Amino acid sequence: MAAKVSVAATARLHLGFFDMNGGLGRKFGGLGLSLDAPATRLTLTRATANDVEGPESDRAAVLLEKAQAALAPGSAHALTIHEAIPAHSGFGSGTQLALAIAAALRRLEDLPHDAAADAALMSRGARSGLGAGLFVTGGLVVDGGRGPNTRTPPVIARAEFPEEWRALVVSDPTDVGLHGADEKEAFVALPPSSEAESGELCRLVLMQALPALAERDLAAFGAAIGRIQEIVGDYFAPKQGGRRFTSAKVEGAIGRLIREGATGGGQTSWGPTGFAFVESETAARAIVARVEAQARADGLEIAIRKGLNRGAKIDAVYAEIA
């Protein structure tokens, strides 16, 4: 049995829902991409009483107790959060933290790994199975939405993200996206999308975005993501101040990136983080050099990220037997 378990789970971009109509009996469905950073990194060991330290420790303490109650009743653990994905920034931080804690506990207690079950257990994935899917496999995944008997929305497709492509990620550290009760209220208040919009989104995913990845066609991939983001952004605009983006400053920065040669611009989840794609590290550095002065003046941060084609790292250390 393991004496210590370390888990590293990385951020994801939510590239858009594609069925807010639900006319076929399933709703939501989504497209997501694992990034190489930022990450949540933690270590779990046994203890005589629960002890949680590090960033997001209050949130993590609640999640640890929830996992313990279901997976290891009566146990106690020391949990150290070494690094945490920024919360409420559109990176899926809460899901990755919850899944990392549950996965660490499972490995420590010699239980089988089951991210989909853990997502349901930890009350994650109410609308999206992307977090659980990406935790397991990384890359770019599609989830099939929620049906009447769905526990965690299933992953129905996965593709490798080209190693040479880069994501330009623009963050506004002074803003946060909708979350908690406000997010739930927004989903309740928004009306169903039209069948035509949902049909176009599904077609863009199946007949443009995924084939473009298979053929490493960035122009076609970017065009698909850009159009998905237009439709989804317009749908959610009533809850984002009438805009496609939560942050007007991020929206402006993404527009500049597109004008400089990037493609597929949009907002991940409720933001305030935006993204766009370029064909290489060299192109990414050149574009960032041309826009970073204005971004800095606006208080924004721009990072060059790779897609990550693997899931979370779960490493165990075993005690030596005397």
Per-domain boundaries in the chain: 1-160+308-322, 162-306
Residue whose pair of structure tokens reads 């107790």 in the numeric block: 65
pLDDT of residue 4: 96
Q: What is the mean pLDDT of the chain?
A: 95
HSE, side-chain direction, 13 A CA sphere, residue 298: 21
pLDDT digits (tens, 9 = 90+) for 108-140: 999 999 999 999 999 998 899 999 999 999 999
Q: Do domains 1-160+308-322 and 162-306 have the same CATH topology?
A: no
Confidence class for position 44, pLDDT limits 50, 70, 90: very high
Domain 1-160+308-322: assigned CATH number: 3.30.230.10
Contacts of 98 by beta carbon, 8 Å cutoff, 6+ apart: 63, 67, 118, 119, 122, 123, 124
| Residue predicted with more confidence, 258 or 183 | 258
Q: Which CATH class is domain 162-306?
A: alpha beta
pLDDT of residue 176: 87
Mean pLDDT on 143-158: 96
pLDDT of residue 321: 54
CA dist., res. 182 & res. 59, Å (int) = 18
CA dist., res. 68 & res. 316, Å (int) = 18
pLDDT for 322 beyond 60 = no
HSE, side-chain direction, 13 A CA sphere, residue 165: 29
Confidence class for position 320, pLDDT limits 50, 70, 90: low
Lowest mean pLDDT among 61-70, 173-182, 235-244: 173-182
Q: What percent of the chain has pLDDT over 70?
A: 99
Mean pLDDT on 142-164: 96
Q: How far is CA 26 from the centre of its chain?
A: 21
CA dist., res. 105 & res. 297, Å (int) = 44
Contact 300, 124 (CB under 8 A): no
pLDDT digits (tens, 9 = 90+) for 52-108: 999 999 999 999 999 999 999 999 999 999 999 999 999 999 999 999 999 999 999
Beta carbons within 10 angstroms of residue 241's beta carbon: 10
pTM of the model: 0.95
pLDDT of residue 283: 98
